[in-house]
Amino acid sequence: MTTESIAWPRSAVESRPLVQRLHEWVITVDHKRLGILYIVYALLFLMIGGVEATIMRIQLIRPHNDFVSPQVFNRMFTMHGTTMIFFVAMPVLFGFANYLIPLMIGARDMAFPRLNAFSFWMTAFGGLLLYFSFVGGDGLYGAGSAPDVGWFAYAPLTSQTFSPGHSTDFWILSLLVSGFGSIGTAINIIATVLCMRCRGMTLGKMPLLPWLNLVMAGLVIMAVSPLTAAQLMLLVDRYLGGHFFDTQAGGSAVIWMHFFWVFGHPEVYVLVIPAFAFASEIIPVFSRKAIFGYPVMVAATICIGFIGMSVWAHHMFTVGMSSAANTFFVLSTMAIAVPTGIKIFNWLATMWGGQIDFKAPMLFCVAFLFQFLIAGLTGIMLGSAPFNWQLGNSYFVIAHFHYVIVGGILFTLFGAFYYWFPKMSGRMYSEPLGKLHFWLFLVGFHLTFDFMHIPGILGMPRRIYTYEPGRGWDVWNLIVTVGVFFQAAGVLVFVGNLIWSSFRGELAGNDPWDAWTLEWSTPSPPPPYNFAAIPEVKSRRPLWDLKHPEDPDWQYE
């Protein structure tokens, strides 16, 4: 392994005009630049999705509020869900995967750099198409309108009969287009991880992050394909006289639910497995210990991948399946708690006996462990079908999956941002601002999503633009809305920190965290070729071996 770098003519770097430098970002096929494009793009949509959530929460702050009309509220929850899943969570995770996988496996780029660029621009185009619906949704007259069919767009609400105009078409097309992008990225990740590893890096010596992203990519191919197919079928229904989901002509609304959730549930694992990957890199470094039970962590992830494909109908316990089908999906849903639990215990064991350094990345990961525990336990409650008949489609479900997606995924993502920011920008972020962000967001998160469980238990269904007084929901909704403003403040501090530190932060050096994986052996930010010479590794922690020649890992693995 080597840390030397090839001299790059300075004139080539600095003296070009701005337009030319921007143009290079547009035509780039470099995995690091595409990774950053994905991440910045997702951050922009995170802000938009956050504004949509805030509008909903202001509307629900008290009963019979009239901050927005029912039509606007329905568009807000549809756009919030679609945006956050397809144009924030997936792109940002793909961005980190793109940036990190080649660096961590000692490669110079992804396997298919041009497919990589194509995938990014498809995803980007999909997001723009979705938001164009605000101006173009109703055609040429009118002020336009966004889709209002909910993010899982149950049939037959999406048929021409109930959704005339074009807003639903924008929803269909944007997911269709970004779906192709997602599948392209998944193929690329699989090919990269399987074919591009440096010498000595067998699959058993590969860091957990590429391993988990490999499983994630497999899930993307299996889950996004049926969704993309379903979007095409829906288009056929709407424009070519098909009757797949047209209940008035003998079609089936339930088939759409199966198509959607056979995507929708694995999608949860598509999002959470990369989050697990961040935690699996950050927790060991900030505990100063090797990951506990590496082979078990890999096995548990693969297990989650397989079981995750067989649990989708737990989103459909209330649609009137037979008791046999309900019972099967209870079993598969509860079974997935076992490998997930194993992962939590392994992270716990990794911290056990370590010297935990509570820098911002680790703070977010520790909060993730506690929050993901709670999310998993409310998941068991929802997985118990009869309990689900009460809790399903209520605010309890909203609280549960935001505990997964915000408390689990977004928290580790923030951790990942702080952890790899020095590598990506070459500069350190501000640690006090990072901690301020953590505490603001933690308080906001718990105000919002802890208290959101309660109106669900008290019978408040989701997707209602207003509610009756006297149901016992008022005070909880007020608290939930107050929390949103803490979260928003936290995100503003976060974005401000990133922007300020990109220009004014201290220089980070190659390896600010005294870490152990290959990306820390190159300069920060890494040169376009990543490694001057392709490294060779003997263990899962090549930089540990380098720093501790007297006690290298490969003696024990």
Site for other proteins in 511-550 (CB under 8 A): 548
156 binds other proteins (CB under 8 A): yes
Of 65-73, 172-180, 210-218, 234-242, which part binds other proteins (CB under 8 A)? 65-73
Considering beta carbons, is residue 14 or 468 the nearer one to other proteins?
Answer: 468
Query: What is the distance in angstroms between the CA of the first residue and the CA of the last residue of the chain?
Result: 20
Q: Which of 73, 62, 76, 58 is nearest to 481 (CA)?
A: 58
Q: Which of 3, 310, 393, 502 binds other proteins (CB under 8 A)?
A: 393
Query: What backbone phi and psi angles, to 5 degrees, belong to 320?
Result: 85, 45
Integer Cα distance of 320 and 426 in angstroms: 56
Integer Cα distance of 309 and 273 in angstroms: 14
Query: What backbone phi and psi angles, to 5 degrees, belong to 536?
Result: -130, 135
Integer Cα distance of 177 and 41 in angstroms: 16
Q: Which of 28, 116, 287, 412 binds other proteins (CB under 8 A)?
A: 287
Contact 360, 292 (CB under 8 A): no
- Which residue type does 289 have? K
What is the SS3 assignment for 461?
strand
Around 185, how many Cα atoms within 13 Å sit in the side-chain half-sphere? Answer: 35
Smallest gap, in angstroms, from Cβ of residue 206 to other proteins? 16
74 binds other proteins (CB under 8 A): yes
Contact 173, 262 (CB under 8 A): no
Integer Cα distance of 73 and 82 in angstroms: 14
Q: Which of 132, 463, 489, 527 binds other proteins (CB under 8 A)?
A: 463
Site for other proteins in 19-58 (CB under 8 A): none
Considering beta carbons, is residue 33 or 359 the nearer one to other proteins?
Answer: 359
Q: Which of 2, 16, 51, 71 binds other proteins (CB under 8 A)?
A: 71
Considering beta carbons, is residue 349 or 492 the nearer one to other proteins?
Answer: 349
Q: Which of 168, 394, 425, 481 binds other proteins (CB under 8 A)?
A: 394
Q: Which of 465, 453, 476 is nearest to 76 (CA)?
A: 465
Contacts of 530 (CB under 8 A, 6+ apart): 32, 102, 103, 107, 108, 109, 522
Smallest gap, in angstroms, from Cβ of residue 142 to other proteins? 16
What is the SS3 assignment for 243?
coil
Considering beta carbons, is residue 28 or 378 the nearer one to other proteins?
Answer: 378
Considering beta carbons, is residue 95 or 483 the nearer one to other proteins?
Answer: 483
Considering beta carbons, is residue 387 or 485 the nearer one to other proteins?
Answer: 387
Considering beta carbons, is residue 235 or 254 the nearer one to other proteins?
Answer: 254
Smallest gap, in angstroms, from Cβ of residue 51 to other proteins? 21
Contacts of 88 (CB under 8 A, 6+ apart): 42, 45, 46, 49
Contact 460, 395 (CB under 8 A): yes
Considering beta carbons, is residue 148 or 237 the nearer one to other proteins?
Answer: 148
Integer Cα distance of 546 and 264 in angstroms: 43
247 binds other proteins (CB under 8 A): yes
Contact 495, 418 (CB under 8 A): no
What is the SS3 assignment for 293?
coil
Considering beta carbons, is residue 8 or 352 the nearer one to other proteins?
Answer: 352
69 binds other proteins (CB under 8 A): yes
The overall longest dimension of the chain from CA atoms, in Å, is: 75
- Any idea what DSSP says for residue 465? S
Smallest gap, in angstroms, from Cβ of residue 471 to other proteins? 5
Considering beta carbons, is residue 153 or 440 the nearer one to other proteins?
Answer: 153
Determine whether 118 is exposed, middle or buried from the number of CB atoms within 10 Å of its CB (0-12, 13-18, 19+). Answer: middle
Integer Cα distance of 399 and 79 in angstroms: 18
Q: Which of 108, 289, 435, 538 binds other proteins (CB under 8 A)?
A: 289
Smallest gap, in angstroms, from Cβ of residue 431 to other proteins? 14
Q: Which of 139, 142, 204, 386 binds other proteins (CB under 8 A)?
A: 386
Q: Please list the residues that pair with 325 across neighbouring strands.
A: none
Considering beta carbons, is residue 41 or 245 the nearer one to other proteins?
Answer: 245
Considering beta carbons, is residue 317 or 418 the nearer one to other proteins?
Answer: 317
Integer Cα distance of 482 and 402 in angstroms: 16
Considering beta carbons, is residue 116 or 388 the nearer one to other proteins?
Answer: 388
296 binds other proteins (CB under 8 A): yes
Smallest gap, in angstroms, from Cβ of residue 58 to other proteins? 16
Site for other proteins in 325-384 (CB under 8 A): 326-327, 330-331, 334-335, 337-338, 341-342, 344-346, 348-349, 351-358, 366, 369-370, 373-374, 377-378, 380-381, 384
Smallest gap, in angstroms, from Cβ of residue 163 to other proteins? 9
Q: How many residues interact with other proteins (rule CB under 8 A)?
A: 98
- Which residue type does 435 have? K
Smallest gap, in angstroms, from Cβ of residue 329 to other proteins? 10
Contact 127, 45 (CB under 8 A): yes
Q: Which of 209, 290, 304, 405 binds other proteins (CB under 8 A)?
A: 290
Integer Cα distance of 67 and 60 in angstroms: 9
454 binds other proteins (CB under 8 A): yes
Q: Which of 11, 20, 202, 322 binds other proteins (CB under 8 A)?
A: 322
Smallest gap, in angstroms, from Cβ of residue 383 to other proteins? 8
Site for other proteins in 78-137 (CB under 8 A): none
